Amino acid sequence: MGMISLFADFEIPLQITIESLMQYSHPLMNLKRSKRAHFITFSGLLILVMIGCDGTQQTTKQSAIETLEKSIDPAANATISTSTDVDRNVGVLAWDKFTLPVFSANGLHVAVQLGPIPSINTLAGNNNRPVESTTIELHFLDPLLGKQISRLVTNQSGLLLSRCANDQFVFVESPRGDKGRWIGEVKWSTGIVEWIVRDGAINAFPTTNTRGDLAWSTRSQDENRFRLSIRSQDTQRIIDDQESDWVFPRFVGNDRLRVFRIHSGRLSLVELDLTANDPTNTAVSVSLIEAEATRVTAWQIATTNLSAHWHSSQSFYHPRYKRMAIWEPDDQQELRYLAPQSVAAAPVGDGSWIVATNKRVLRQFVGQKDGIRLRNQLAIPVATTSKQWPHLLLEPKGNRLHVHAVNLDD
């Protein structure tokens, strides 16, 4: 099935309001109708923590953050006694109505990208023209008291917010024309960018694991095919089959990598065993699109759901079935599907999923036709590693995202 037929129902103008968006089943669309794809997606929503430049003020706030992080350490025996303990307002984030925010694993930090939206070809790594209009902000969230500590703006503008973060930093990218595309880390505590990949190549889509290894897609300026680069503490290597375009990797644990592969117009999701001498020989894959797939197609599927990188099951929007799909290669079934017209999903510890459609949020076990309704409106679920507040819900209201901390275990 060609890409035109897959996405024909999802042509949405860039200027669309969030209220209008709720009328559609998903923000994917026909990408071949114009030279510039005008569509909206949740993938770039970012929240930034801003701290003043005064050294004393920054030190005081950093100390406050460290104290709060200790006090909100996952509590296994947390007691839930009121409705406000089950669902608590945490804060409100500025939103460009396009870019989803990126959260730390523990849910305490969030980054947002603001300003004019870069072109989709830039986001997908097709061109490398510098971006001068964006600002990345960082925020610290306190679910215990329902407060936001004042925001911190990164010390550089013109950055792209990547889709991966841990509890210490969030990744950013910087297209620099003929100087390459750099990858940086922005520490939550300072907002300062540290460049970790800064050669003349096009480097994009970084991801990391709990061991601190780094994986990303890389290509030279004069070629149009991404390879995978893996850097550990002691080694760096390239993974490539000399044929495919490898984009949007993410670690599963420390020794496996999931990545989207484009080959002859076909798009598949692949898992590789990084302990093998040639990980491409260990590839386990599931086909997503059979013809006319591009990096922009992969970008939409890979970035429209806020993934829990520590969870072995991966959920993503399937353009053919127009709902969220779950893939876990060890499962005998290749794919499992969630509610019709679902647009986002986050895993729950008991095996269920918090699932968002354009009109409601529900808790659903795989295999069920429906689930327990949690909300009668759109909200994007985010999984965290916190035992006290395992999930966040993002409710879009105009150019703001309202953040709620949620505990479904009690």
pLDDT digits (tens, 9 = 90+) for 43-81: 433 323 222 233 333 444 444 444 434 433 333 333 333
Q: For the chain, give the mean pLDDT.
A: 80
Q: In this predicted structure, what is the pLDDT of residue 408?
A: 86
* Cβ proximity of 193 and 92 under 8 Å: no
Half-sphere exposure of 120 (CA within 13 A, CB side): 23
* Cβ proximity of 357 and 317 under 8 Å: no
| Residue 58 main-chain phi, psi, to 5 deg | -65, -40
Task: Assign 145 a pLDDT band (cuts: 50, 70, 90).
Answer: low
Q: In this predicted structure, what is the pLDDT of residue 20?
A: 33
Half-sphere exposure of 121 (CA within 13 A, CB side): 12
Q: In this predicted structure, what is the pLDDT of residue 146?
A: 60
Q: In this predicted structure, what is the pLDDT of residue 196?
A: 98
Task: Assign 13 a pLDDT band (cuts: 50, 70, 90).
Answer: very low
Position 394: which residue type? L
Nearest to 406 by CA among 397, 179, 398, 395: 395
Q: In this predicted structure, what is the pLDDT of residue 333?
A: 64
pLDDT at 314 over 50: yes
Q: Which domains, from first to last, does the chain contain?
A: 3-72+86-406 (2.130.10)
Which value, to the nearest 10 degrees, does the dihedral of the CA atoms of residues 103, 105, 107, 110 take? Answer: -20
When comparing pLDDT for 304 and 364, which is higher?
364
pLDDT digits (tens, 9 = 90+) for 239-281: 999 999 999 999 999 999 999 999 999 999 999 999 999 999 9
Task: Assign 155 a pLDDT band (cuts: 50, 70, 90).
Answer: confident
Q: In this predicted structure, what is the pLDDT of residue 63?
A: 44
Distance CA 344, CA 326 (A): 11
What are the residues whose beta carbons fall under 8 Å from the beta carbon of 253, sequence distance 6 or more?
209, 312
pLDDT at 311 over 80: no
Q: What percent of the chain has pLDDT over 70?
A: 77
Pairing mode, if any, of strands 102-103 and 109-114?
Answer: antiparallel
Position 385: which residue type? T
Task: Assign 410 a pLDDT band (cuts: 50, 70, 90).
Answer: low
Report, as an integer, the average pLDDT of 156-171: 96
Distance CA 123, CA 130 (A): 11
Task: Assign 147 a pLDDT band (cuts: 50, 70, 90).
Answer: low
Report, as an integer, the average pLDDT of 138-145: 83
pLDDT at 27 over 60: no
Report, as an integer, the average pLDDT of 366-380: 90
pLDDT at 28 over 70: no
When comparing pLDDT for 410 and 233, which is higher?
233
Q: In this predicted structure, what is the pLDDT of residue 388?
A: 87
* Cβ proximity of 97 and 9 under 8 Å: no
Task: Assign 182 a pLDDT band (cuts: 50, 70, 90).
Answer: very high
